[in-house]
Amino acid sequence: MKWSDDVLSVYFIMGTQDCSGRSPENILEEAIHGGITCFQFREKHPDLHMHQVVDLGFRLRAICQKHQIPFIVNDRVDLALILEADGVHIGQEDLPAFHVRKLIGKERILGVSARTETEALEAVQNGADYIGVGPMFATKSKSDAGHPVGPETITRIRSVVGETFPIVGIGGINRQNARQVREAGANGVAVISAIAQSRSPRQAAEALKNR
């Protein structure tokens, strides 16, 4: 899928662990109709077997393809390749970005999490297409997210990676604070619970898009 900075505007991340028993497919469909611009499949439910994860991944990927929304897989390069995903997003504790880029090729999107200017520069040098910076604010969606780094971290990272390199803020973002993240220099916001836990994922996505 062709890359553009607009892809990061409203970046939705979800797995079954975020859905409170509701259908992930229905939530994703609603979120797409609300205006999300990218979707990341982040499956962390302890009771799901791998074949169930793959089956769900294919269903969610089909929805994204139907609506021409980029489908990104979190952490798992093998799963991304199996699902023929548009890309993969990795953290600092995952496979090094340099090796991930070799595995996924030049055409797929590579996102890398970074909390510091050093990590951000290394990600750029090792082939990242965008950087995810966070957590912006306190979040319960990721138990290993660490302490909030705040929107000011985006401003610092922006100063070292340049004005045009794509950055998305993540962690504790909602419609009340999304503007702070954009004003700090992010191309967009990535959210989990702000959409997945909403009574109306469509309205939640619309609200974030409007912000």
Task: Measure the CA–CA gap between 10 and 61, rounded to whole angstroms.
Answer: 17
The reply to whether 172 sits in an annotated binding site is yes
Distances in whole angstroms, Cα of residue 74 to Cα of each of 78, 158, 194 = 11, 23, 18
Nearest to 35 by CA among 206, 170, 172: 206
Task: Measure the CA–CA gap between 33 and 67, rounded to whole angstroms.
Answer: 9
Work out whether the CA dihedral 85, 42, 137, 126 comes out positive or negative: negative
The reply to whether 44 sits in an annotated binding site is yes
The reply to whether 113 sits in an annotated binding site is yes
The reply to whether 139 sits in an annotated binding site is yes
The reply to whether 94 sits in an annotated binding site is yes
Task: Measure the CA–CA gap between 13 and 27, rounded to whole angstroms.
Answer: 11
The reply to whether 140 sits in an annotated binding site is yes
Active site residues: 42, 113, 142
Backbone torsions φ then ψ of 202, nearest 5 degrees: -65, -50
Structure tokens at 155: 């401003």
Annotated binding-site residue numbers: 40-44, 74-75, 94, 113, 139-142, 172, 192-193
Residues of each annotated binding site for Mg(2+): 75, 94
